[in-house]
Structure 1
Amino acid sequence: MSSWNSTTPFCQWPGINCTGGVTVTGISLNSQNVEGEIPSSICDLKNLTLLDLGNNNIIGNFPTFLYNCTMLQKLDLSQNYFVGKLPDDINKLPPTLQYLIISGNNFTGDIPPSLAQLKGLINLYLDSNLFNGTFPSELGHLINLEELVLAYNPFARNNLPKEFGKLMNLKFLWMTECNLIGEIPKEFTNLTSLVHLDLVGNNLEGEIPSGLFLLKSLKKLYLYKNRLFGGMPTSIEALNLVELDVSQNNLTGIIPDDIGKLRKLEILNLFQNQFHGIIPPSIGQLPSLKRLGLFMNQFRGSLPSELGLHSKLESFEVSDNAFIGQLPENLGYNGDLSSIVAFNNNLNGTISTSQLTANLIWLDISNNKFSGPIPSSIAKCENLLVFKASNNQLWGKIPMELTALSSLYSLRLDGNQLSGELPSSLSSWESLAILNISKNNLSGPLPAALGSIPHLQILDLSQNKLSGQIPYKLTQQISLQNLITLNLSSNNLKGKIPREFDNKAFNLSFLNNANLCSDKQISRLPPCFTSHHRYLVEILVPGAIIFLIFLCFTFFKINMGRHETHGSEQQAWELKPFHRIEFTEAVIVSSLTNNNLIGTGGSGKVYMAPVNDLGNKVAVKRIWNGRKLEDALEKQFLTEVEFLGTLRHANIVKLLCCVSSAQEKLLVYEYMENQSLDKWLHKRRRANEPSSMNSEASRSNLELYIVLDWPTRLKIAVGAANGLCYLHHACCPVIIHRDVKSSNILLDSEFNAKIADFGLAKVTIKAKGPHTASAIAGSFGYIAPEYWRTKRLDEKIDVYSFGVVLLELTTGKHPCKGNDHLNLADWSWKHCCEEHPITDALDEEIKEPRFIEQMVNVFKLGVMCTSQTPNSRPTMKQVVQLLIKWSHDEDHDQTQTTNEA
């Protein structure tokens, strides 16, 4: 706004539109951080036709003084903080009004029937508010209406008005989660102009009107998450259909043959119904088909052999049916296939090389009858995140090519007939978190290389024929902070359990290994020493250790002298501050010791660095690449870091400075005393478990065995949401974090939450539309489904990830632990779809009657944020509004309780 001054003609001010250079006809200040209330004098601009104040921080009730803007054609007040009811005389808005957009506010009550008197309306957007009354059937009299959006409002239960069937010009109707009941009116089959119909997430019953499939203009039909029953219409003439989703209903019958007429169909989702019979061969001939979702039905027979041959198939999901035979050979014919999800069927045959494409990200064929070896061509799947082939009849060795997949996150090969030794080189598995090869015939020793997998959380090698001792290097290298499950039971291991594993945290990890022993006699294992041997060990071993320490100390001092002599010459450090600081680069560099190590992230290690004698500390992320960056990459890195250093928000961790050399980059942040949220939710230790942390971490108050109560969790949710809202709605250009997760939400001494780790952040400009990433980034369990399928970047991938965090806060569950085939987001979605009580999903450790309603609301919000469809997710601004409202409800309830007492 700095150019809004008397020296510049007002018609040249940004956001001001003029006619003839003198007459103001438009004000467009969308996303400009405008605050306060709208001045009533705005209607002194008598020729104003456009007023766009969307996506700001404007407050107040609906501005009735806009009735005086007599020429107004477009009014956009969306994504603000308006409250109260819409006025009953809203029809006093000028009759010239064509576009009324008030989405994303806090309006309540009924939508007044008088709104239907604005006959000139073409677009009416009332979605994402708090309307809890009714919407009028009289809206069906707006004969010029082309777009009607009422989605995401907690309306009172209401039927879908048959009067809407009179909107002959209607092209776009969006009524997701409007608490609709009853049937879809047959009058909707008269909407011949309709292009997009979305009635998702309601309680609609009855059959799908057959006439909907005769509408020539219809391109997108979304009826999923309702209670519709009956079969699919057998006559299909809506030949322009591009997306058809009737999943998550109670539909029965077979897929009609006419579905093969839909030559433009790209997405076909019929999953979670009660369809049966065989799949029509014509589905395999659809030339535009990209995504096919048939899972959780009662289909049988073979899959059409031509699937993938005539189209660029990306997603193929047919799990939980009774399919037989082999997977279609042509699935990956065009090379675009990103997911094969076919678990829980009766499929057989081998894993075909032709189905393995470079774009394949998800391969789950568990609980079938596949046989043969894992093909070496698996190396083509360089982007593979998940490979699950549990409970089949696979045999042969684990191919070395499988260990070269650096993106692999979850590998489950349990319950097969695999044999031979485990691969000895596993250094490429830098992203692997879940490794389960139990219930096979593996033999040979445990490779020490298992300890080189930096982010391993679950390791299960039980029920094999592994032999030898547990390697000492395994315990030294493996990150015990990350490890959730270790199971080496029922093998032929021998010797002493390493000290790091010899405690109750691993009490069930070594059962049925007859030749293993334990100093502490865990897991009912025999002791390792007799009293005589123990006496010798207690005398000799300490002496040997002291001698070795002396030798190492001498060697270390000699080499340190050499390093200090030559290292300073090799590395010249440069400090670039972004805030006022009172320390030098020497203070930071000297703190990079193992004693100060407090964590390890995907891009480097994190250290605590004391910066003065007053006890003040900073956190230092060490990013090392071992070689000099190219000039272009160096410049890009420093530009991005400098940009992130400009961020100023109470819920964003401060980047204080950057210390860099030719080979290393040190990012210096404010120190967060309570470290990350995930450690409080998922890595609390029992009081009788010894610490596996280093000295600094042992001193941190994470060592307290405290369960975060609900008010603290809600406070954390509000803070983290505010930080993300700032990135999405206040930064220009918009910042997409891309790696929102509980380990990147840090907590200060008062449990205030701050978003951290922007190593994956991407800056994008909304005007240019969604960006595409060159590679998948993020953490498994938090990745939005459309992101790993299409790599398309927008703010909704962060909303999805934050939704997972909300589910973690309410359930206490780990994001990857739903069950064998469901992560937390999918498990929560299924829990709701199957109509289990939401209270059963809540964390039992903190579930108190006074907090139940809040916890249920936040759980529902988490499910909404993790919707499979990006458009169905709220914005972060809407998320913040809801969380703050529920927080205030808690404060009000507590005050009321106190007053009553």
Structure 2
Amino acid sequence: MSKLHIPFLRTPLLLCVLVLLPLPFKVISQDANTEKTILLNLKQQLGNPPSIQSWNSSSLPCTWTGVTCGDDGSVTELDLGDKGITKTIPPTICDLKNLTFLYMNLNYIPGEFPKVLYSCTKLQHLDLSQNYFVGPIPDDIDKLSGLRYIDLGANNFTGNIPPQIANLKGLRTLFLYQNQFNGTFPKEISKLSNLEELGLAFNNFVPSSIPVEFGQLKKLRLLWMRLANLIGEIPESLTSLSSLETLDLVGNDLEGKIPDGLFSLKNLTSLYLFGNNLSGEIPQRVETLNLVEMDLGMNQLNGSIPEDFGKLKKLQLLSLFENHMSGEVPPSIGLLPALKTFKVFSNNLSGALPPKMGLYSKLEEFDVSTNQFSGQLPENLCAGGVLQGVVAFENNLSGPVPRSLGNCNSLHTIQLFSNNFSGEIPAGVWTASDMIYLMLSDNSFSGGLPSKLAWNLSRLELNNNKLSGPIPPGISSWVNLVVFKASNNLLSGEIPVEITSLPHLSDLLIDGNQFSGQLPSKIISWKSLTSLILSRNALSGQIPKEIGSLPDLRYLDLSQNNFSGEIPLEFDQLKPVFLNLSSNHLSGKIPDQFDNIAYVNSFLNNSNLCAVNPVLNFPNCYAKLRDSKKMPSKTLALILVLTVTIFVVTMIVTLFVVRDYQRKKAKRDLAAWKLTSFQRLNFTEANILASLTENNLIGSGGSGKVYRVAINRAGDYVAVKRIWNNEKMDRNLEKEFSAEVQILGTIRHANIVKLLCCISSESSKLLVYEFMENQSLDRWLHGRKRSQSMGISSFGYMAPGKSTQQLHCAFVNGDEHTSLADWAWQQFGQGTPIADCLDPEIKEPCFLQEMTTVFNLGLICTHPSPSTRPSMKDVLEILRRVSPDSNGETKTGAELDVLPLLGTVTSLSATTQHETA
């Protein structure tokens, strides 16, 4: 009996003895202190991130943030994810001998793959995702032999994925998604017999097919290769992945049929294949009854929707959009109890929609647009009360809108345009609390507009219906409306002033109705308006000048109304892409901004308008003015004599005063000039200053003028560049002067003109160079057939002026102070033949038409108003047509007529943009 009780007596005694012994406690305490020291050193090496400030010497490591210990008190897990770490991983981390789990994801760790982790001999779980790692995955990564989980996703790794990764035999999860791999992934991955999750998505691999060997991964539950540059067919071997739950091959370039066996995988819940080039029919027999989500959109699939899809009782998402599917939608799909999203838009489907769609499930999205469906919309789409969108545009649907949609407050959008719907729009549709877009154009809806809209409705499109009645004054409550389109209806009455108070309105299109009266001028909140289209109504009165103050208005069409009076001068502030005021009763002058070929069709059928530019084909405003305000000849003669007399007397007095002033000033200013020499000189600053006259001027540019100055009687000259300002030298000119002096004053080169000296005062800077006779760019371009011209390839840009007119228009008896552009416009306005304006030295009969075209193009490109000049795209198109074709033959006269061509290009461009808007 005593023997039986001895073990029970001894055991408690032995435990008590062991507990009382000090040695084991001493050993454990030493290990804890060691790991504390390791962790504190690790914290310091990681840059002391604030997120782990709880790591301190006054507490035990197992209580610290992100530290987990095992049963023996040693650290087994470090969770340093999302801690703001910016340093590389130090080797110290592997001094934690029992470290098994390491999370360092969501940081900013730089550098290459941390090989220091090879010393963490017990590491099983490694997460380095979402950092800044670069370079290749090392070939010796298999030194982490104990790994079961590795996530290197969302980094910047490049190159190939090494085949040695297949030596990690215990690996169950391999995530390498969202890197910059530009090489290959190895088929040897198929040797990871324990692999359950494989994520290679979002990588730009070289075009690769899915290895047939991947069919050996019998435990694989997730195959995630979205946007991985896959090509070829989906291998039939994948149908043997009996454990597969999710197959995601979205956005690749896969082709061929979808293997029938995929629809028989018993565990498959998610099938994502959209955005490929898969073709053929979907098999009619579907046994994957656990499917929850199936997205096969954006492929080349054809045939009908399988009837067996009605058996997928767990199916929540069915997406077949943008394929070539035909036939009817099986009615059984309308009975699916879990269906939330149904998207079959952009196919060739026809027939009636499942009548019970939405009755047995909480349908959220319903998009059947751009098909050939007929009949009515299903009555119970919103029976579940969570429907967010009904999108069924571009079909042959008819009948009234189901009244149940008027009681569906969860709706964000209804898009039913381009169908055959009729009747009145249910009242609740206008006011559904969450409605944002209501697009009902191109139907036969009747009735009137509501006084109240949903508070957040921003887009209301009602074009081409049979709506009637006025715009209600309650439109002022449509405060969030951005787009209002109600063109081509039967709306009538005056446009209420309340419409001008909508603060966010950008597009107002109510053309083609029966509106009358004056357009409201009290524009309160239309600062965002970009399109105002009111054509084909019966509006009258003057065009409100306030329209000219709308800063963003780009499309304005008031044509085919009864507007009268002048075009407001404030319209000069507009910069429209499209403008049409045709077919009204407008009078007066067309504003200068629109008096050009870009608006040739903008003012038609307004008989009392006039223009300055003959291109618009309106009476000349100046001629009309002369005809209406002719003055007696004697009065004109008297005014002329008095004007000439006053001018002559003023000039004589001014001449004496100026000459006396200049003499005194020259003496006073000479002392203010300072000469800095870079060469031995045989002249003084007085020689230079006295010769800076218009007679010695040989060129001018943006920063000053250039003179040729004689320095002795032997005929030696220097070139003087004067950098000046009316007041004081500004900062940019000062920098230009200093730079040129610094460079040219210190270099000596046979091909660079010598800088002899500089002469400066408070308001002017003179650079004196040696003069190189006849060594200009003009001589090298045109040879010696030109007259002797100025001889400075280093005085910078010379603007079109006296010198260039001498070169190119010397034969024209024009004003020497008129620019080439002004002179050309004068010749055009006077009706001078263009051939008479061309330089005789370059005029060739066989290229006369091309030169005429370029001359006209120059006129248009130099119009005084920059906003009316053509775009460079249009200029390029014209110049392309001017040049010879591929056979070396020039274009015909009709092809080179620039004015109609540019007008057509501009008008078509404006019209296209208007229609797009």
Over 3 Å counting, the alpha-carbon distance change for 1:31 and 1:820 in structure 2 is: farther
Distance 1:158 1:223 in 2: 17
Q: Does 1:494 align with 2:540?
A: yes
- Cα deviation digits, residues 405-463 of structure 1 (max 9, x gap): 11101110001111100121123322211110111111011111212221111111111
- Cα deviation digits, residues 102-150 of structure 1 (max 9, x gap): 0000000000000011011111110000000000011111111111100
Over 3 Å counting, the alpha-carbon distance change for 1:102 and 1:239 in structure 2 is: same
Over 3 Å counting, the alpha-carbon distance change for 1:506 and 1:444 in structure 2 is: farther
- Cα deviation digits, residues 508-534 of structure 1 (max 9, x gap): 321111234443487245446899xxx
Question: Which residue of structure 2 lines up, in the alignment, with residue 83 of structure 1?
Answer: 134
- 5 Å-filtered alignment, 1:118-197, equals 118-197=168-247
Give SS of 2:123's match.
coil
Q: Report the TM-score, using the length of structure 1 for normalisation.
A: 0.58
Residue identity (%): 46
Question: Which residue of structure 2 lines up, in the alignment, with residue 19 of structure 1?
Answer: 70
- 5 Å-filtered alignment, 1:473-492, equals 473=522, 475=523, 477-480=524-527, 482-492=528-538
Q: Does structure 2 retain, via aligned residues, the 8 Å contact 1:411–1:436?
A: yes
Distance 1:280 1:78 in 2: 45
Instruction: Give the unaligned 5+ runs of structure 2.
Output: 1-51, 570-579, 591-862, 874-912
Distance 2:565 2:915 in 1: 33
Give SS of 2:332's match.
helix
Report the AA paired with residue 129 of structure 1: N
Q: Does 1:514 align with 2:565?
A: no
Report the AA paired with residue 79 of structure 2: S
Give SS of 2:488's match.
coil
Distance 2:373 2:353 in 1: 7
Over 3 Å counting, the alpha-carbon distance change for 1:283 and 1:689 in structure 2 is: farther
User: Shift in Å at residue 503 of structure 1?
Assistant: 7.8
Q: Does structure 2 retain, via aligned residues, the 8 Å contact 1:502–1:518?
A: no
Over 3 Å counting, the alpha-carbon distance change for 1:132 and 1:48 in structure 2 is: same
Over 3 Å counting, the alpha-carbon distance change for 1:41 and 1:381 in structure 2 is: same
User: Residue 317 of structure 1: which of 359, 364, 367 is its match?
Assistant: 367
Over 3 Å counting, the alpha-carbon distance change for 1:706 and 1:338 in structure 2 is: farther
Give SS of 1:360's match.
coil
Question: Which residue of structure 2 lines up, in the alignment, with residue 696 of structure 1?
Answer: none
Question: Which residue of structure 1 lines up, in the alignment, with residue 410 of structure 2?
Answer: 359
Instruction: Give the unaligned 5+ runs of structure 1.
Output: 532-685, 691-704, 708-816, 822-901
Distance 1:706 1:340 in 2: 44
Question: Which residue of structure 1 lines up, in the alignment, with residue 274 of structure 2?
Answer: 224
Q: Does 1:57 align with 2:115?
A: no
Question: Which residue of structure 1 lines up, in the alignment, with residue 793 of structure 2?
Answer: none
Distance 1:121 1:279 in 2: 44
- Cα deviation digits, residues 791-840 of structure 1 (max 9, x gap): xxxxxxxxxxxxxxxxxxxxxxxxxx99989xxxxxxxxxxxxxxxxxxx
Distance 2:372 2:866 in 1: 46
Q: Does 1:390 align with 2:441?
A: yes
Over 3 Å counting, the alpha-carbon distance change for 1:405 and 1:339 in structure 2 is: same
Question: Which residue of structure 2 lines up, in the alignment, with residue 399 of structure 1?
Answer: 450
User: Shift in Å at residue 64 of structure 1?
Assistant: 1.1
- 5 Å-filtered alignment, 1:518-597, equals 518-520=566-568, 523-524=581-582, 525-527=584-586
Over 3 Å counting, the alpha-carbon distance change for 1:818 and 1:236 in structure 2 is: farther
Report the AA paired with residue 69 of structure 1: C
Question: Which residue of structure 2 lines up, in the alignment, with residue 422 of structure 1?
Answer: 471
User: Shift in Å at residue 379 of structure 1?
Assistant: 4.7
Q: Does structure 1 retain, via aligned residues, the 8 Å contact 2:405–2:428?
A: no
Distance 2:864 2:312 in 1: 62
- 5 Å-filtered alignment, 1:208-287, equals 208-287=258-337
Give SS of 2:69's match.
strand
- 5 Å-filtered alignment, 1:462-477, equals 462-473=511-522, 475=523, 477=524
Q: Does 1:459 align with 2:505?
A: no
Question: Which residue of structure 2 lines up, in the alignment, with residue 792 of structure 1?
Answer: none
Distance 2:872 2:481 in 1: 30
Question: Which residue of structure 1 lines up, in the alignment, with residue 711 of structure 2?
Answer: none
Distance 1:261 1:410 in 2: 39
- 5 Å-filtered alignment, 1:29-44, equals 29-44=80-95
User: Residue 372 of structure 1: which of 423, 426, 429 is its match?
Assistant: 423
Question: Which residue of structure 2 lines up, in the alignment, with residue 298 of structure 1?
Answer: 348
User: Shift in Å at residue 490 of structure 1?
Assistant: 1.1
Q: Does structure 2 retain, via aligned residues, the 8 Å contact 1:494–1:517?
A: no
Question: Which residue of structure 2 lines up, in the alignment, with residue 198 of structure 1?
Answer: 248
Give SS of 2:546's match.
helix
Over 3 Å counting, the alpha-carbon distance change for 1:123 and 1:180 in structure 2 is: same
Report the AA paired with residue 512 of structure 1: Q
Distance 1:100 1:819 in 2: 54
Over 3 Å counting, the alpha-carbon distance change for 1:819 and 1:490 in structure 2 is: closer
User: Shift in Å at residue 17 of structure 1?
Assistant: 1.3
- Cα deviation digits, residues 624-648 of structure 1 (max 9, x gap): xxxxxxxxxxxxxxxxxxxxxxxxx
Over 3 Å counting, the alpha-carbon distance change for 1:687 and 1:444 in structure 2 is: farther
Q: Does structure 2 retain, via aligned residues, the 8 Å contact 1:493–1:516?
A: no
User: Shift in Å at residue 37 of structure 1?
Assistant: 0.6
Report the AA paired with residue 581 of structure 2: S
Give SS of 1:201's match.
coil
Distance 2:915 2:115 in 1: 53
Aligned residues: 540
Report the AA paired with residue 251 of structure 1: L
Question: Which residue of structure 1 lines up, in the alignment, with residue 675 of structure 2?
Answer: none
Distance 1:447 1:173 in 2: 61
Give SS of 1:151's match.
coil
Q: Does structure 1 retain, via aligned residues, the 8 Å contact 2:492–2:516?
A: yes
User: Residue 411 of structure 1: which of 432, 439, 460 is its match?
Assistant: 460
Distance 2:915 2:292 in 1: 33
Question: Relative contact order: is structure 1 or structure 2 higher (C-alpha 8 Å, sep ≥ 6)?
Answer: 1
Question: Which residue of structure 2 lines up, in the alignment, with residue 434 of structure 1?
Answer: 483
Question: Which residue of structure 1 lines up, in the alignment, with residue 432 of structure 2?
Answer: 381
Distance 2:124 2:68 in 1: 14
User: Shift in Å at residue 276 of structure 1?
Assistant: 0.3
User: Shift in Å at residue 166 of structure 1?
Assistant: 1.0
Distance 2:258 2:588 in 1: 74
Report the AA paired with residue 531 of structure 2: T
For the aligned residue pairs, the C-alpha RMSD in angstroms reads 2.6
Distance 2:370 2:548 in 1: 41
User: Shift in Å at residue 13 of structure 1?
Assistant: 1.6
Over 3 Å counting, the alpha-carbon distance change for 1:21 and 1:468 in structure 2 is: farther
Over 3 Å counting, the alpha-carbon distance change for 1:425 and 1:434 in structure 2 is: same
Distance 1:503 1:399 in 2: 30
Q: Does structure 1 retain, via aligned residues, the 8 Å contact 2:541–2:562?
A: no
Larger radius of gyration: 2
Report the AA paired with residue 544 of structure 2: P
Report the AA paired with residue 465 of structure 2: N
